[in-house]
A = this chain, B = another copy of it.
Amino acid sequence: MASLTKFSLAEANAVLARTPATLNALLRGLPDIWLRCNEGTDTWSAFDIMGHLIFGERTDWMPRVRIILENGEARPFDPFDRFAQLTQSQDKSMEIEQLLDDFARLRKDNLAGLQALNLQQEDLIRRGRHPALGAVTLSELLATWAVHDLTHVHQLSRVLAHQYRDAVGPWNAYLGVLQCTGHSAA
């Protein structure tokens, strides 16, 4: 399988382990103008993105790993509520520092749980069933976890940059992030 020659558990782990510190460096202590703003109606702020990442750590990634290992394709994954953070009231009053700390702790625990599974190369081709996408492998799930982090770093840089869309004046045309309109599936 072409995907397996490229995927490496250690290399995926290297990305996953760095994301909490990356988000911490980018967001902790930033003025609220950066943290509370979004890109317009029905778009996400840095707070919403952190809430989404935390929800994923709690309900999505490692639970799906365990479903693959324990049930294979027999039990489809629970759907991931990608908008849970928008309806969970406790996040609205939270400080960004609390969200960053929660995410860092959950990620650390999840990566420790992943390591404890002592996955072997042959485990990585084990299959599960995604409720919409159908058959997927464990390595695809783990690669997606890492790229999902990068998707939200990508989004965060765009949300922050959006606030200075006017402020940069004619340089707008040179700044790639200001041309990005987002690419998430509906």
Question: What residues of chain A have their CB less than 8 Å away from a CB belonging to chain B?
Answer: 2-4, 6-8, 10-12, 14-15, 18, 21-22, 24-26, 29-31, 33-34, 130, 133-134, 136-137, 139-141, 143-144, 146-148, 150-151, 153-155, 157-158, 160-161, 163-164, 166-171, 173-180, 182-185
Contacts and interface: CB of A to CB of B under 8 A. Distances in A.
A30 B8 CA distance: 13
B160 A143 contact: no
Given A11-B31, A31-B14, A148-B175, A143 B167 contact: yes
Contacts of A130: 170-171
Contacts of A174: 144, 184-185
Given A14-B30, A18-B26, A184-B176, A3 B150 contact: no
Contact of A183 (B11, B166, B176): B176
A33 B34 CA distance: 32
A82 B146 CA distance: 30
Contacts of A146: 164
13 contacts: A2-B166, A3-B168, A6-B163, A6-B166, A7-B167, A11-B31, A24-B25, A140-B168, A140-B171, A144-B169, A150-B161, A173-B185, A178-B183
> Copies of this chain, how many?
2
A184 B146 CA distance: 25
Given A31-B11, A176-B184, A140 B155 contact: no
A11 B34 contact: yes
